[in-house]
Copies of this chain bind each other. A is one copy, B any other.
Amino acid sequence: MPLIESEAGLIERLRDLFHTSFENGVEVGIGDDGAVIAANNNKLVATVDMAVEEIHFKREWSTPFQIGAKLTTANLADVFAMGATPKYLLVAAAITEVNNSQTVTDLANGIRSVADKFKVSVIGGDLSKSEKMSLSITALGELSGKAITRDGAKVGDLVYLSALPGLSAAGLAILTRGLNRPKYVVEAHLNPKLVAPNNLMKVANSMCDISDGLVSDAGNIAKASGVNIDLSKELLQKSDDYKDLAELASELGEDVFDWILTGGEDHFFLATVSADKASDDLGLLVGKVEAGSGVVNLDGKAITKAGYQHF
């Protein structure tokens, strides 16, 4: 599709904005009909995520930098969740101020703030005018071993979380009340940090990210694997982050376990791991896999509430 007025100028600007010195086997980058990559091996993971103004973000709350960073985080999390290493991004952005250099630059810098951290190259893009901003990012990752899918959980596996979820929901609760602090809580919602689940990737029988909410995503693993996942309130409370989160919830009159179990938009990872590979290096041990038919239990009682929904 044709781009904006000076397509050549824009492509050059995007090429500059996304120029890095990472090798990554990019033989042809931005500027031709398509990019050419020579991956290290022939197995790739591919995933696409979209964020739309008023549905996934509000311009009053989020800067273009944060919008770009957050979607990149969501996208790379999906690649890691498959046990792969993200390498390439293709970005399609629709923005109101298409001729506003600053918005394009801020979006690009937000995307790069996350991509650079993981040495990921932006190899393609498209830009269009639109009444509402929307952003769609495709991530490609290299898979050196077997993909870690949702259907690999085994009865007897331990359930680990890379970190305690809920802080993003806390940030959203604060913003919804018209407040903007504590800053680290609001930031957890507007620009969540991504940490690669390096240790979990080495040993997980099944894995997913929990951006749709812990119960919802644990349910996906339980269903795909034909098992039950039993979470323990006591184990979740053992997290170093629990106390702060519980205090925030209490101050705002909310249920901290609503945030933890169904909050969503925390880009952490849930994995099931054989019991003989148990280790504190894997994150928080929060439960175990039991024989069953796709149910998620908390302390033995089924949780049916769906994850956080945008509408």
**A contact set with B: CB distance below 8 Å:** 1-2, 4-5, 7-8, 27-28, 32-52, 54-56, 71, 74, 77-79, 81-82, 84, 88, 90-94, 98, 123-132, 134, 136, 138-141, 143, 147, 149-150, 208-209, 211-213, 216, 220, 223-224, 264-265, 307-311
Contact = CB atoms under 8 A, between A and B. Distances in A.
Contact of A147 (B36, B129, B132): B36
Nearest to A212: B2
A39 B44 contact: yes
Contacts of A134: 94, 128, 130, 134
Nearest to A79: B34
Tally of this chain's copies: 2
Nearest to A307: B2
Given A44-B44, A94-B52, A131 B128 contact: no
Contacts of A27: 43, 147
A276 to B, nearest CB: 26
Given A46-B140, A130-B132, 16 more contacts: A1-B71, A1-B211, A2-B264, A2-B307, A2-B309, A5-B309, A5-B311, A28-B149, A33-B81, A33-B150, A34-B47, A34-B84, A36-B44, A48-B126, A90-B138, A92-B92
A45 B1 CA distance: 17
A71 B2 CA distance: 12
12 contacts: A1-B50, A1-B56, A1-B71, A2-B212, A2-B265, A4-B309, A34-B47, A35-B47, A39-B44, A47-B124, A131-B131, A140-B140
Nearest to A123: B46
A234 B81 CA distance: 58
Contacts of A74: 1
A82 B129 CA distance: 26
Given A44-B44, A94-B52, A211-B1, A32 B128 contact: no
Contacts of A150: 32-33
A297 B233 CA distance: 74
Contacts of A212: 2, 7
Contacts of A223: 8
Q: Which of A44, A47, A208 has the most CB of B within 10 A?
A: A44
Contacts of A92: 48-50, 92, 136, 138
A206 to B, nearest CB: 10
Contacts of A55: 94, 128-130
A28 to B, nearest CB: 6
